[in-house]
Structure 1
């Protein structure tokens, strides 16, 4: 099965890939060449650090290329599921006890970033929300215990 990815997430990953190929890869190659010019490579910390950095960059490039080639890019703005929560939905939740509100967008595993409110489709929160509608109450098993949330809003923004 192909991993789902929002169009915005695919764009972010492509931008990172381009940055690695056009900026960071040439910079580390120059750093290696410069360190080689300093002579003996066995005790040259700059050379070894640059080689390690090159390995990380090349590994990330390969990972991004593989992920992007196997991903199914979904245009969230084109989805019209109404108030039903599906992949790509931005969901506003209100804690049933405290009334505190949080907003999450359900995205592919590759683009999840909780600090930005992007939760993976495979996460317990997303799995509890999928298929529900605006106005429904959901129970989520969180590390801190069970929490009840009301789905206050569901929207689809590209």
Structure 2
């Protein structure tokens, strides 16, 4: 039997997944089922692109529900770690060579969302920062080239 690895989530990440799951189950899924029923009642569905698109969206929604349920079953919540080193769940402020400051939360791949400032521990930046201290400088090899980041603050 294959053992599944646990999914380490921050409390925020777990809450976001639970909210998404609730929305999918109570709002989106019923709306898609209703829309399919409505389109089916309107007549010939054999050549109806809206019916096919809605059916495909229903399949994707059901798959996302199963995925979230699977993640939540395996979830382990990370507790606040030490503020001395970068760890999963830490909020890290870094500054690059040009003086541009950015703040990220280091999270598991399942809850990563760069537009929300949540980067994966497995990303080039996340893995380079992991275990480092305030004042440490890391060199990140990314697709866009090499970047040097100095850790300014860890929460």
Alignment map for 1:25-104 (pairs within 5 Å): 25-75=29-79, 79-95=80-96, 97-104=97-104
SS in 2 for 1:56: helix
Shift of 1:115: 1.1
TM-score by length of 2: 0.91
Query: Which whole-Å CA distance do the structure 1 matches of 2:130 and 2:100 have between them?
Result: 21
Distance 1:99 1:50 in 2: 48
TM-score by length of 1: 0.90
Deviation at 1:128, TM superposition (A): 0.9
Name which structure has the greater RCO, CA cutoff 8 Å, separation 6+. 1
Provide the secondary structure at the position in 2 that maps to 1:82: coil
Aligned residues: 151
Stretches of structure 1 that go unaligned for 5 or more consecutive residues are none
C-alpha separation in 2, matches of 1:148 and 1:32: 52
In the alignment, the residues of structure 2 paired with residue 43 and residue 80 of structure 1 have an alpha-carbon distance, to the nearest angstrom, of 57
